[in-house]
Amino acid sequence: MKPAASCVTSSPAALAFLKTALEGFRLKFHPSAAAFLKARPRGLAVIDSSLPDMSGRDLVSVLRGDKRTSRLLLVLTGSGPYSPAAAALSLENGADEYFTFPPEPRLFRARLLNLLARAGPGAAASEKPAEYAFGPLRISPEARTVSVGGKRIRLTALEFDLLLYFLRNQGRVVSRTVLLEQVWRQGLEAGPRAVDKRIEALRSRLGPFGAKIRTVFGLGYLFKL
């Protein structure tokens, strides 16, 4: 699985550097502390020490102080000439690594990969997002809410699980049998017709977006954007 990192910076130069140095990573960019916190961060984050709304160091100490975010891997990047005092202070505030910008790309990449490797496969894998966004569709697995174009859509628990399963397996054909096992979770008693009926209901509730769930004749269903 691809390594993942959240990048919190408002600097175009930093953004360009990170894109190049972390090629092959799954990257998410957040222009401010507010945007980053709203996205409910997980995994590894590269944080610019000067953000438009907060200092990176303050953000790191806040994240370390909360049990929901204390286990994040946090890398701070500073600007200007290297200062041992600034580096020490950043680490004392809870950063795992500190670099002055722009770091040597290979060194930067290697340190991040080592951090991820030591943190274990859970952190190295692309994190499950708190909210999936696909064009006009928003789905939050934790809050169990779905909206299309800002309009909330009511689904039954089963329809919700079904949609989530499709989103997590988009681009793959899923058979009725697999759906019965993975979503219905009660073996095959319900029967393949029950799947078809539920999917019809789900499609109609999603409106125009429902057409993204395609029937693959003789095989099952395919969700593709």
Partner 1 sequence: MTARPKILIVDDEPDYLAIAARIAAGAGCAVLTAPLALKGVELAEKNEPAMILLDVGLPDISGFEAARRIRAIPALSRTPIIFFTVRSELDMVTEGLKLGAAGYVIKPFDPDELQARIKAAVFPAPR
Binding residues for partner 1 restricted to 26-65, rule: CB under 8 A: 32-34, 37-38, 50, 52-55, 58-59, 61-63, 65
In whole angstroms, the minimum distance from the beta carbon of 62 to partner 1 comes to 5
The size of the interface with partner 1 (CB under 8 A), counted in residues, is 19
Least separation in angstroms between residue 113's CB and partner 1 is 27
Q: Which two tokens stand for residue 16?
A: 């360009």
SS3 140: strand
DSSP SS3 for 222: strand
Q: Are 146 and 139 in contact (CB under 8 A)?
A: yes
| C-beta of 93 vs 162, nearer to partner 1 | 93
| Binds partner 1 by CB under 8 A, chosen from 2, 19, 68, 118 | 68
Decide whether 65 or 208 has the Cβ nearer to partner 1.
65
- Which is nearer to partner 1, 58 or 131 (by Cβ)? 58
With vertex at residue 93, the alpha carbon angle to CA 92 and CA 97, rounded to the nearest 5 degrees, is: 75
CB 59 to partner 1: min, Å: 8
What are the start-end ranges of the E strands in the chain? 4-8, 26-30, 44-48, 73-78, 97-100, 132-134, 137-140, 145-148, 151-153, 173-174, 213-216, 220-223
Rounded CA gap, 95 and 125, in Å? 20
Shorter beta-carbon distance to partner 1: residue 55 or 182: 55
Dump the DSSP string for 43-57: SEEEEESB-SSSBHH
| Only segment of 66-74, 101-109, 176-184, 203-211 that touches partner 1 (CB under 8 A) | 66-74
Binding to partner 1 by residue 145, rule CB under 8 A? no
Does position 169 interact with partner 1 (CB under 8 A)? The reply is no
Helices 84-92/56-64 angle, 10° precision? 30
Q: Does 79 bind partner 1 (CB under 8 A)?
A: no
Q: Which residues contact 102 (CB under 8 A, 6 or more apart)?
A: 13, 14, 17
Question: Minimum CB separation from partner 1 for residue 34, in Å?
Answer: 4
**Which positions from 80 through 109 interact with partner 1, judged by CB under 8 A?**
none
Q: Which residues bind partner 1 (CB under 8 A)?
A: 32-34, 37-38, 50, 52-55, 58-59, 61-63, 65-66, 68-69
